[in-house]
Amino acid sequence: MQTQPAGTFPVAGTMACLPGRMLLDTTDRDEVTAVIGELLCEHQLLVEGPAAQFHAQVRDCAVGDLRLAHFNYGTAFTIKSQPLGRYVVNFTINGVSRVRHGRESAVAGSGQATVLSPRAESELTWAPETDVLSLVVPKSALEEHFRRLSGVLGLQATVLYSPLTMGDVQQATRAVLAGQGDGRRGTPTAVITNSDYTAHAVYKAARELGLRIGPEVSVVGHDDLATSELLDPPLATIWLNRREMGRALMLRLLGRVPPGDYVAPVKLIERASLRATEPRLVQLPSASAS
């Protein structure tokens, strides 16, 4: 399945804001595999361009739990990796980056970004001139932040991880909505997704169980895509200023603003998928029906 890059960013001036510490400057592929394996995860590096042109230059810096790294390998190559165990946002500064992540794929040119989730295998192919800036975010950091804010609001929150394909999200959501989780929190009354796109799979899972979206389980997306209003019922979603959020992140990574939580300017777009819930009873299909 072909997907679009996750977003865009301004390339102008980015090269002047790259990390300053040189982590790697070598033509030794084994050294690259070992060092990057420690930074991200174990992987296989396949050089596809002229071997003599392979020259890995990697710069990096760390701010709290976040890691920012700039990659340039000098020639065309492919990296195949197991699930990363963390979130990675790749910003293609120059060249072209082809990404296969789980069952999804995308092509990111200069000024486009892709997001890799913690739980899917990846394959990345970069052209010789490609420069990529990678932001590495531990999933534990996001999970702890989400739970802390949920506690402040008096909510019981559970973080659900799944490869970001329609089928996988639908299957994982169906299990949770059917009460097949850990049994400690009961079935959820609302699902907040990472994007409006994956909210489609949540809709399908709820309908498989005969649940009415809105009255029996609320669904809230993220990104405010134009198609959100076309769903039935129209999808409530969270709008955010991506450009301002990216600017705030870079200021912290460059040390111009002290590290700390950043409250992004967001707006809840209320639509019919978000309502006060009514009592419900979930009936699972019998074993004979399957």
Residue, of 208 and 114, whose pLDDT is higher: 208
What mean pLDDT do residues 246-275 have?
79
Residue 62 has pLDDT above 90, yes or no: no
Q: Give the mean pLDDT of 129-157.
A: 83
Percent of the chain with pLDDT over 70: 84
* Over residues 229-241, mean pLDDT: 92
From residue 36, how far is each of 51, 67, 84, 90, 277 by CA, in Å?
19, 12, 12, 15, 47
Please report the domains of the chain, with CATH numbers, ordered by start residue: 7-138 (2.60.120.10), 158-269 (3.40.50.2300)
Q: Is the pLDDT of residue 283 over 90?
A: no
pLDDT of residue 11: 52
The pLDDT tens digits of the residues spanning 73-129 come to 999 999 999 888 888 888 898 999 999 988 778 899 988 888 888 878 899 999 999
Specify the higher pLDDT residue, 14 or 271.
271
Average pLDDT, the chain: 82
Please, is 35 exposed, middle or buried when counting C-beta atoms within 10 Å of its C-beta (0-12, 13-18, 19+)?
A: middle
Render pLDDT for 184-202 as a digit per residue (tens, 0 to 9).
Answer: 456 788 999 988 989 999 9
- What confidence category does residue 53 fall into, taking pLDDT thresholds of 50, 70 and 90? very high
pLDDT of residue 142: 76
